[in-house]
Structure 1
């Protein structure tokens, strides 16, 4: 849990009770920022949702910006972890792409505040915003390179491909995870993976 706090912070919880309190604060912050946005959100709104005293907040964070940054890192980590667990044991790169996107769409529906918080981070904490996507891209690039070495996909600039695929996922998550649920996550994943691996060209 220490990674959700500022590196080197001496306020990292060392007990199970402290870790649970920190988790309540982060979940409350996600609700507060997700509903009101950064500038309208308030620390007392976070503590009220978490059911803790104001002083407890300052045991873990110095300011609203610090808890926001911690929340962006936490949400990024949780999203990556959720997708990684979904693709574990995938039989091919195509299977991994499909399972990963299906899991991401489902995660977005369960956590709609994700988009508002991450997008707002580009104005409030641009470094955290960039780190969120870079962390995805770095892992994605490594996985694509490994798939190319196994002969499952073509060789090429895997970093550029990683960013392109992330872009697809972001907008598919926005359309089918946030705006509407007229397709199931599985249907979204099937249509998208078919496009990625088969392309638009008509086949005879």
Structure 2
């Protein structure tokens, strides 16, 4: 995943202006993901983050004022990373609406397997920084809704699909990720994505 494509999560006043600064910020965020993912917000520390990043303590304060601030930035960064990952999976040609959903879920499941800390961090953000937690899910649902609306315009999806449908699909995707990317990797990502796609295509009621 090319994280450089995502907007900088640093506060505007501390946004790095050089490539070196952007690399340092990336190191801090990656280290924070590991630190918060392993220890949780309350046990994690700034010194733990800088130690993992291989940077001086003073360097941290060049980009962030506190542990709370880098945590908020990390939630935004992870949310952006999911968006970029899905976007890359959908690039390169016209896809049917159903194939779009299949690829987006498959990309998310792979991302979650590679970044298992995302679930702990996003879940903890509900209590550490509720606005970040809400923004993550609202923006994700909005992207799904936009795809559903595009599919409806093509005549593939129903015309009455709305926000609640987008949230329902997101809920399915989130819990499939929890079961088949975080708790275990026993099933093929593509098989799980195919199964979810069949639910969207056929439903579960007998015909």
Give 1:38's match in structure 2, choosing from 38, 41, 51.
41
Give distance in 2, aligned partners of 1:102 and 1:11: 35
Instruction: Number of aligned residue pairs: give it.
Output: 201
Could you say which residue in structure 2 is the equivalent of 1:99? 103
Could you say which residue in structure 2 is the equivalent of 1:163? 167
Is the Cα contact below 8 Å between 1:2 and 1:12 reproduced in 2? no
After TM superposition, list the pairs within 5 Å mapping 1:1-204 onto structure 2: 3-6=8-11, 9-88=12-91, 89-203=93-207
Is the Cα contact below 8 Å between 1:137 and 1:166 reproduced in 2? yes
Structure 1 gaps, min length 5: none
Deviation, structure 1 residue 84: 1.5
Structure 2 gaps, min length 5: 1-5
Give distance in 2, aligned partners of 1:35 and 1:70: 18
Deviation, structure 1 residue 192: 1.1
Give distance in 2, aligned partners of 1:137 and 1:97: 13
Q: Considering only aligned residues, what root-mean-square deviation do their CA atoms show, in Å?
A: 1.1
Q: Give deviations 1:118-150, integer Å, cap 9, x for gaps.
A: 000000000000000111111211111111011
TM-score (norm 1): 0.95
TM-score (norm 2): 0.94
Is the Cα contact below 8 Å between 2:28 and 2:60 reproduced in 1? yes
Following TM superposition, the consecutive aligned residue runs of length 4 or more in structure 1 with deviations greater than 3 angstroms are none
Give distance in 1, aligned partners of 2:121 and 2:19: 27
Is the Cα contact below 8 Å between 1:2 and 1:13 reproduced in 2? no
- Secondary structure of 1:13's match? coil
Give distance in 1, aligned partners of 2:98 and 2:46: 44
